Structure 1
């Protein structure tokens, strides 16, 4: 019988990458989505059936934060995370043979704006504001389920880089059109992870039955925004890039219907627990990551 994995919210950039990789590993894949061809979030019976006997459940569901934080969008961002997590927790409790592991997305944005020191799982300070409220409420919802037969792991994911999607497309366009200079002060830290390393983390944690709780999913060598844009220009052979001061970003974000926090918040996150447990990154540096995504 085939091993079974359930990808909740599995139609996005990360979910599609994971689906292809799990297919190569010989898994039977079930995707829960709002898209008609997949299992519906409203069909609890079908979700329970999919989860029953599954080796792994990965929840990636949630409305994109790349939007203006008006009241309607804020509610949708919050509800899309807490409601789906609740549906999954209740479905697991209804299973005869619950999944062995439930990995739920969280975000590295849970930590405060950090320009003085890196944030670890043990020593990181939780921030404040809407994005942090979303992250903390999401994790509280997830860990409110006391599941004796299912290991629970929250993945505090940094900005995911990979081909054909995610944030790489807008960054590449900025450089292509000569706008690849620093954003804001350029001193804010940028924590990222290659999508392949994120998948390898999932496999690593799947195999380690002794591990539960929270893990930072970020490459071990974060860089400043200045360094990020410099390496992007170098990799793309762009000779110059105009900087974007804060006032310009504020103005542009209104037209692009997004928030400057996505660019200006200093995310300085390191994967202390993963490294302590022996996980080895394939793409530990930004240079290797960009070379792979852009040039290979």
Structure 2
């Protein structure tokens, strides 16, 4: 019998990376998605059947937050996270042999705008606003289930850097056009993680059966926005980088249908629990991460 894992919402940037890497490790990868050819979210029986006997469930489902926060998008952002999480919990309860570990995405933006000190799992302060409300509801939906045969781990994921999607494409485009300077004040913190380290965290939690609960997923070395853009320019060999003041970002965000929160919120997040339990990051330094991604 082949080893099996289930990826829920596994067709995006992170999901595709996970799928390829787990398949390369010899796993049969079952994907739950709205996209044709995968297990449909409307088919509870098929979801339960996929989960039966699986080694791992990873839930990455949720509408992208790279959009304008009008009411329609807000409702979909919230619903696409809480309803899918609830559906997976119900399916797990129907399994005779459920996966021993359920990893659910959350977000590091649950913490407040922080320029004064870092946020850890133990000493982080929860923020306020729409994005934080979504994160709290998401985690509540996840931890509302009592699953005697399944460990649960919520990953508060910072901004993920990788070659094939995510935030790197727009950042590289800005640098290429000579607009790779500081964005807004420039001193806001940028917590980040290389997509390969995110995968390694999933594998680490899978092997360490004593671990559960909430984990910050971020490099232990966050940088300021100004330093982020400086290191990207260095790797891309772009000497000029015009800064983008906050007012100009607001105008630009309207045109490209997104929100400036993605650039201007100061996310200062430290992976205290992972480090305490011996996890070692492959990419600690933003310059090394950019070199790997841009090579």
TM-score (norm 1): 0.99
- The one-character-per-residue Cα deviations of 1:235-262 (angstroms, maximum 9, x if unpaired) are 1000111110010011111001001111
Q: What residue is the counterpart of 1:212 in the other structure?
A: 212
Query: Which residue of the partner structure matches residue 185 of structure 2?
Result: 185
The residue that corresponds to 1:6 in the other structure is: 6
Give the aligned partner of residue 155 of structure 2: 155
1:73 alignment partner in structure 2: 73
C-alpha separation between the residues in 1 aligned to 2:37 and 2:177? 38
- Residue aligning to 1:222: 222
- 1:241-280 correspondence runs (5 A): 241-280=241-280
Name the residue aligned to 1:144.
Answer: 144
SS of the residue corresponding to residue 267 of structure 1 reads coil
Aligned to 1:235: 235
Cα deviation per residue 1:79-128 (whole Å; 9 max; x = unaligned)? 00000000100000000101110000000000000000000000000000
| CA distance in 1: counterparts of 2:208 and 2:181, whole angstroms | 42
In 2, distance between residues paired with 1:142 and 1:206? 18
Q: Distance in 2 between matches of 1:283 and 1:245?
A: 30
- Secondary structure of the residue that 2:14 maps to in structure 1? helix
Query: Partners of 1:25 and 1:270 in 2: how far apart?
Result: 29
1:292 maps to what in 2? Answer: 292
**Aligned-residue offset at 1:228:** 0.2
Corresponding residue of 1:39: 39
1:3 shift after superposition: 1.2
Please give the alpha-carbon distance, in whole angstroms, between the structure 1 residues aligned to 2:155 and 2:18: 15
Structure 1: state its 5+ residue gaps.
none
Following the alignment from structure 2 to structure 1, what is the Cα–Cα distance between the partners of residues 82 and 164? 28
Q: Give the CA RMSD over aligned residues.
A: 0.4
Tell me the secondary structure at the aligned position of residue 93 of structure 1: helix
TM-score normalized by the length of structure 2: 1.00
Give me the whole-angstrom Cα distance separating, in 2, the residues matched to 1:177 and 1:226: 17
Match of 1:281?
281
Do residues 166 (structure 1) and 135 (structure 2) align? Answer: no
Structure 1 position 24, deviation (Å)? 1.0
Measure, in 2, the Cα distance between the counterparts of 1:58 and 1:98. Answer: 13
* 1:94 and 2:103 aligned: no
1:51 aligned residue = 51
Deviation of the 1:23 alpha carbon: 0.6
Q: Aligned partners of 1:180 and 1:284: how far apart in 2? A: 22
- Secondary structure at the counterpart of residue 79 of structure 1: helix
Q: 1:221-244: per-residue Cα shift (whole Å, max 9, x none)?
A: 000000001001011000111110
Flag structure 2 segments of 5+ consecutive residues without an equivalent: none
Q: Kindly report structure 1 stretches of 4+ aligned residues shifted beyond 2 Å.
A: none
1 CA distance for matches of 2:288 and 2:211?
A: 29
Q: Aligned-pair distance for 1:164? A: 1.5
Determine helix, strand or coil for the equivalent of 2:42. Answer: coil
1:30 aligns with 2:30: yes
**SS of residue matched to 1:118:** coil
| Distance in structure 2 (CA, Å) of the matches to 1:146 and 1:189 | 36
